[in-house]
Chain A
């Protein structure tokens, strides 16, 4: 009877479909269990490595003589994660001590081997390790990764080049800061900070000039990390001629970051710019360089149409070093604009919370 049923094409199709569905479900379940088990094993291994190596690394960083446990092939990756983390957490002699420890364990050989691995994580770890070891032998390979790889691996490679030789890395890395628009701004700033203004020189200003205009606002905000004189000259020129509100706003951010008090006239002239983004940044820039004669301007901006402009103006007034709390209260009571009064009240309360001794 069953055989005759199986001859029916519809029933056969249903049986085949159900069977394949069950097989797929079982296979997926098996894979999930296996993956979970492997992840657990990896985590356990990492925990064990941390338990064994944490005191050794800490003592080694502090310059104490240490007895080295054996570093098994399975422990290499978690150990390198820990070693790199220590490198990131410390400076000075401790870093050199950790490099000595790494050399004793032969991690440069392991890192060079891992550089050719298929896994992106392993390669990134190897690049980071070679960077911390300041190993120049793989410079070309790492520079190639920086040029070709636009992902996080490329970023790690750029950072490694900076660690190995900042002077040599600057011409490779600085133009990339303009090109890699999707790298987070803070990360790019961290690389430039590690390079130092002496190595960046005029490279960043040139990179800004060569970059498309839509990238300028992002890059101008990084200029404070390059050579101060060249950055100031460029920003002042832009403030004088530029019309684009986004670029002007970025220039005002740069003025604040560079602490350029000589640009105060340009900043004052932009306080009442039609674009609120420019007005906000002008207020922010003025906040750190304002004199008594700027107080009236800031008070006028408390009645601005834009909430951010009112808020930043209120903050600027409240944090002015030459004003006491009573002075600010007097300004508040003299305000006719309800929104401006609200902003100032909020900023007074904020300062009071942050600084209970403010009088």
Chain B
């Protein structure tokens, strides 16, 4: 059978064929080895990934447990807050009830006091009218006395010397009534507010302005930057006068002047601007913004007082 199988075949070519098969076989073995190595690597990677995944799962489980714990704590806190708020609301309601009661009491009290004030006013009015009547009588009597004295004096002097009478005086103080003391603070003779605001970052300037204006009879409020000045203008009623430095921290004096002129109620407030070094154009801008007076530093205290007095007289 073998002989028949090999009939017609060249033994040399069969050998070559076998060798080729052998080579193919070796090649296949090599490829198989490489594939096995790859599979081994992939297996290792897979094992690593599985390990990592397991650790992630572990971490996630631990975090979940933590979150659960935190949630419980938060729930407890929320509950505590809710309870506290409830109790506080209850307290506030209680306070409101008490306040309502006390307000009612206050209302009663106020009504009683108003009645008392009304009574007092009536009695005072009556007393005053009595006093006025008495004073009128006294004045009439005085007038007739004076007339008689004048006629007597005229009779004595026969019109040679003019007669002068001393001004009527307050019996208690001895001061003349109806005359003004030259050194009387100006603020006492005006009906406007007694508050002057000085805005300067230099405390020495503020203290000088304070002394000058207090001497004029005003209360002085000191502010040290432009931002504070803007806040003050927003939150407070208008004052008698503002004395502001041009160079201020945060917001400059020009902006402060503009704010004053733009704030209802403050438009008429006189503003004196103090500045150490300003250009011609800056001064023009200041007056356009609404500054009433401009003074350069160094300044005279007497001049400041005079300018302030003049501006306040205008009002």
Residues of B within 8 A of A62 (CB): 208, 211-212, 215, 301
Q: A54-B207, A55-B207, A59-B211 in contact; A354/B298 too (CB < 8 A)?
A: no
A82, B300: Cβ atoms under 8 Å?
Answer: no
A359–B211 CA distance with the chains assembled, in angstroms: 44
Known: A59-B211, A86-B204. 20 other contacts (CB 8 A): A50-B203, A54-B207, A57-B207, A58-B208, A62-B208, A62-B211, A63-B301, A64-B211, A64-B215, A82-B204, A89-B202, A89-B298, A90-B299, A91-B298, A91-B299, A91-B300, A93-B302, A94-B300, A94-B301, A355-B285
**Do the beta carbons of B285 and A61 come within 8 Å of each other?**
no
Q: Which residues of A contact B202 (CB under 8 A)?
A: 89
User: What is the size, in residues, of chain B's interface with A at 8 Å between Cβ atoms?
Assistant: 20
Contact B211 A58 (CB under 8 A): yes
- Once A50-B203, A357-B288 are accepted as A-B contacts, the answer to whether A89 and B211 lie under 8 Å apart by CB is no
Name the interface residues of B281-315: CB closer than 8 Å to any CB of A.
Answer: 281, 285, 288, 297-303
Chain B CB within 10 Å — which of A61, A82, A355 has the most?
Answer: A61
Cβ of A92 under 8 Å from chain B: yes
Q: What is the minimal beta-carbon distance from A170 to any residue of chain B, in angstroms?
A: 21
| A92 near B205: Cβ-Cβ < 8 Å | no
In the complex, A90→B298 CA distance in Å?
Answer: 4
- What mask results when residues 255 to 298 of chain B are scored 1 for a CB within 8 Å of chain A, else 0? 00000000000000000000000000100010010000000011
Cβ-closest 5 pairs across A and B: A92-B300, A58-B207, A58-B211, A62-B211, A94-B301
Hey, which chain B residues are within 8 Å of A50, CB to CB?
203
Does residue A85 face the partner (Cβ distance < 8 Å to B)? Answer: yes
Q: Kindly provide the distance from the CB of B139 to the nearest chain A CB, expressed in whole angstroms.
A: 42
> B-contacting residues of A (Cβ < 8 Å)?
50, 54-55, 57-59, 61-64, 82, 85-86, 88-94, 354-355, 357
Measuring CB to CB, which residues of chain B are less than 8 angstroms from any residue of chain A? 202-205, 207-208, 210-212, 215, 281, 285, 288, 297-303
Closest to A51 in B: B203
Q: Give the distance to chain B from A29, nearest Cβ to Cβ, in Å.
A: 36
Complex CA distance for A54 and B298, rounded to whole angstroms = 17
Interface of A, secondary structure class, is: helix
Bound together, the chains give a CA A174 to CA B231 distance in angstroms of 48
B204 near A54 with CB under 8 A, answer: yes
Complex contacts, A86 vs chain B, CB 8 Å: 204, 208
* Chain A residues, CB < 8 A from B211: 55, 58-59, 61-62, 64
Q: Which listed residue (B203, B208, B215, B281) contacts A90, Cβ 8 A?
A: B208
**Chain A residues, Cβ within 8 Å of B302:** 92-94
Write the chain B residue with the least CB distance to A356.
B288
A85 touches B300 (CB 8 A): no
Known contacts A355-B285, A355-B288; decide if A58 and B204 are in contact (CB<8 Å). Answer: yes
The B interface is mostly helix, strand or loop, or mixed, namely helix
Q: Please measure, in the bound complex, the distance between the C-alpha atom of A50 and the C-alpha atom of B299, giving whole angstroms.
A: 21
Are B207 and A354 touching (Cβ within 8 A)? no
Expressed in whole angstroms, the Cα–Cα distance for A61 and B211 within the complex equals: 9
* Distance of B52 from chain A, by nearest CB (Å): 48
In this complex, the member of A58, A88, A91 whose beta carbon has the largest number of chain B beta carbons within 10 angstroms is A58
Q: Which A residues are CB-close (under 8 A) to B207?
A: 54-55, 57-58
For the complex formed, measure the closest distance between the CB of B165 and the CB atoms of chain A, giving whole angstroms.
37
Residues of B contacting A88 in the complex (Cβ-Cβ under 8 angstroms): 298
Contact B297 A89 (CB under 8 A): yes
Instruction: Assess whether A58 is in contact with B210, with CB atoms less than 8 Å apart.
Output: yes
In angstroms, Cα B211 to Cα A59, docked, is 6
Distance (whole angstroms) from the CB of A102 to the closest CB of chain B: 15
- Give every chain B residue within 8 A of A355 (Cβ-Cβ): 285, 288
Distance of A58 Cα from B212 Cα, bound (Å): 9
In the bound complex, CA of A35 to CA of B202 (Å): 28
A-B contact pairs, 21 of them (CB 8 A): A50-B203, A54-B207, A55-B211, A57-B204, A57-B207, A62-B208, A62-B215, A62-B301, A64-B211, A82-B204, A85-B204, A89-B202, A89-B204, A89-B299, A90-B300, A93-B300, A93-B302, A94-B208, A94-B301, A354-B281, A355-B288
**Cβ–Cβ < 8 Å partners of B298 in chain A:** 88-91
Give the distance in Å from the alpha carbon of A354 to the alpha carbon of B301 in the complex: 31
**Could you tell me if A92 and B301 are in contact, using CB atoms closer than 8 angstroms?**
yes
A93 to B186, CA, bound (A): 21
The distance in angstroms between the C-alpha atoms of A90 and B305, with both chains bound, is 13
Q: Would A61 and B205 count as touching, CB distance under 8 A?
A: no
- Quick one: given A85-B204, A86-B204, are A61 and B301 in contact (CB under 8 Å)? yes
- Cβ 8 A contact of A89, one of B205, B210, B281: B205
What is the CB-to-nearest-CB distance from B245 to chain A, in angstroms, rounded to a whole number? 11
CB distance from B119 to the nearest CB of A (A): 47
Write the nearest CB–CB distance from B206 to chain A, whole angstroms.
9
Q: How far is the CB of B278 from chain A (nearest CB, A)?
A: 14
Residues of A within 8 A of B301 (CB): 61-63, 90, 92-94
- Cα distance A264–B144 in the bound complex, in angstroms: 82
Bound complex: CA of A85 vs CA of B205, how far in Å?
10
Q: Cβ of A89 and Cβ of B208 under 8 Å apart?
A: yes
